[in-house]
């Protein structure tokens, strides 16, 4: 089970949002590069980077910064936020980014099919859920989607993975939502990456026990605020 630290970017700074609300950012006192090098020193091999302004406004806002981060990291980087056009995907992948995350555009299966077949194994689908609603366009509103039907079709495509985030817990340190995990069991045959609400190392144990085949877990605030210690991280790095 991969542990994947999140680096969320807003106005060039490292932040975490509370339940996806742009009105409630927590800013951290270090640069994106400083954070990246810290996580690399800890032994993380993959980083989750989100262009929050890109997600909000529907266009990439931190591309140059993100490509610079990749040049300074020996592991893999996945990027999401504001990626709506094929040219955005091409610019990131040609710039060295390993995986591109699609949220809003992923709902359009024709587009998803086209780009995943053009870039097999390089596209990640991100589903940000709040109850039965799907968050799109930077979490500004929710839409209902026939998830079972959509996932059945999307699972046939050459995607790298599916990220499921519980928006109601994201950035809260409230702990994992057991009901949310139970709901995901029916899709446990897919390469799943989970996010939202991780508060400590015990939550990682819970996820691993309920979804033993899970590919990875995205961790944000719990790392930034010291709720998960370096020695606890090392255990998961050694078995992932």
Q: How far from 39 is each of 96, 164, 214, CA to CA, in Å?
A: 19, 22, 21
Q: Does residue 98 have an active-site annotation?
A: no
**146-156: average pLDDT:** 87
Predicted local distance difference test score (pLDDT) of residue 20? 72
- pLDDT above 90: percentage of residues in the chain: 66
pLDDT in tens, 87-109: 999 999 999 999 999 988 898 99
Which is catalytic among the residues 128, 166, 170, 203? 128
Predicted local distance difference test score (pLDDT) of residue 130? 66
Residues 127 and 136: their CA atoms lie apart, in Å, by 9
Q: Does residue 128 have an active-site annotation?
A: yes
pTM: 0.92
Predicted local distance difference test score (pLDDT) of residue 78? 99
Predicted local distance difference test score (pLDDT) of residue 24? 82
Residues 10 and 64: their CA atoms lie apart, in Å, by 14
pLDDT in tens, 179-225: 888 888 989 899 999 988 899 999 999 999 999 999 999 999 999 99
pLDDT in tens, 47-83: 999 999 998 888 999 999 999 999 999 999 999 999 9
Predicted local distance difference test score (pLDDT) of residue 140? 45
What are 67's two structure tokens?
A: 């490509």
Q: Which fold has domain 2-239?
A: TIM Barrel (3.20.20)
Predicted local distance difference test score (pLDDT) of residue 147? 77
Predicted local distance difference test score (pLDDT) of residue 141? 45
The answer on pLDDT for 148 being more than 90 is no
Closest CA to 150 of 112, 193, 96: 112
**2-6: average pLDDT:** 97
Decide which of 144 and 163 is more confident: 163
Predicted local distance difference test score (pLDDT) of residue 137? 47
Predicted local distance difference test score (pLDDT) of residue 117? 98
Confidence bin at 237 (pLDDT 50/70/90): confident
Check if the beta carbon of residue 77 is closer than 8 Å to that of residue 101: no
Check if the beta carbon of residue 120 is closer than 8 Å to that of residue 154: no
- Computed over every residue of the chain, the mean pLDDT equals 89
């Amino acid at each position: 089970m991969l542990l994947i630290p999140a680096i969320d970017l807003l106005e060039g700074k490292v932040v975490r949002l509370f339940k996806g609300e742009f009105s409630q950012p927590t800013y951290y006192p270090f640069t994106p590069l400083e954070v990246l090098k810290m996580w690399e020193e800890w032994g993380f091999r993959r980083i989750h980077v989100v262009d929050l302004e890109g997600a909000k406004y529907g266009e990439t806002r931190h591309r140059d910064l993100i490509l610079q981060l990749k040049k300074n990291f020996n592991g893999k980087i996945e990027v999401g936020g504001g990626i709506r056009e094929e040219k955005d995907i091409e610019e990131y992948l040609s710039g060295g980014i390993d995986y591109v995350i699609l949220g809003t555009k992923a709902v359009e299966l024709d587009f998803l099919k086209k780009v995943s077949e053009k870039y097999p194994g390089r596209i990640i689908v991100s589903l940000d859920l709040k109850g039965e609603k799907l968050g799109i366009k930077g979490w500004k509103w929710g839409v209902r989607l026939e998830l079972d039907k959509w996932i059945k079709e999307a699972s046939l495509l050459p995607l790298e993975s599916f990220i499921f985030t519980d928006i109601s817990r994201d950035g809260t340190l409230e702990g994992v939502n057991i009901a949310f995990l139970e709901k995901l069991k029916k899709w446990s045959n897919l390469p799943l990456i989970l996010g939202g609400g991780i508060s400590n190392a015990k939550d990682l144990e819970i996820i691993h026990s309920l979804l033993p085949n899970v590919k990875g877990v995205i961790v944000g605030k719990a790392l930034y605020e010291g709720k998960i210690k370096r020695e606890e991280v090392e255990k998961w790095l050694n078995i992932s």
